[in-house]
Amino acid sequence: MLTSIAGLSVIVTGASKGIGKGIEKIFCQKGARVLIVSRKLKEADRRPKPAPRSCVARA
């Protein structure tokens, strides 16, 4: 059973808003390395970026 996602790499699609945005936030808080993917990258770039260094990439 997976007990921690700290240090794991995850890809979150549709992360500019809604559920994807929420999932990205939770994964970052839990210490995962997160790559977000969105068709609306400008929207994703306008919103506040998570503080943790584990959230390293956007595409």
pLDDT in tens, 4-53: 888 899 898 887 788 988 888 888 888 888 888 877 767 666 655 555 55
10: Cβ contacts below 8 Å, ≥ 6 apart: 27, 32, 33, 34, 35
Looking at residue 44, its pLDDT comes to 63
Tokens of 56: 């390293």
Count the domains in the chain.
1
Q: Which range of residues forms the domain containing residue 50?
A: 14-58
**Residue 2: pLDDT over 60:** yes
Looking at residue 55, its pLDDT comes to 60
Strands 57-58 and 9-13: unpaired
In a domain, 43, yes or no: yes
Per DSSP, the three-state class of 14 is coil
Q: Which amino acid is at 11?
A: I
pTM of this prediction exceeds 0.75: no
In a domain, 5, yes or no: no
In a domain, 51, yes or no: yes
Looking at residue 17, its pLDDT comes to 81
Do residues 36 and 44 make contact, with C-beta atoms less than 8 angstroms apart? yes
Looking at residue 24, its pLDDT comes to 85
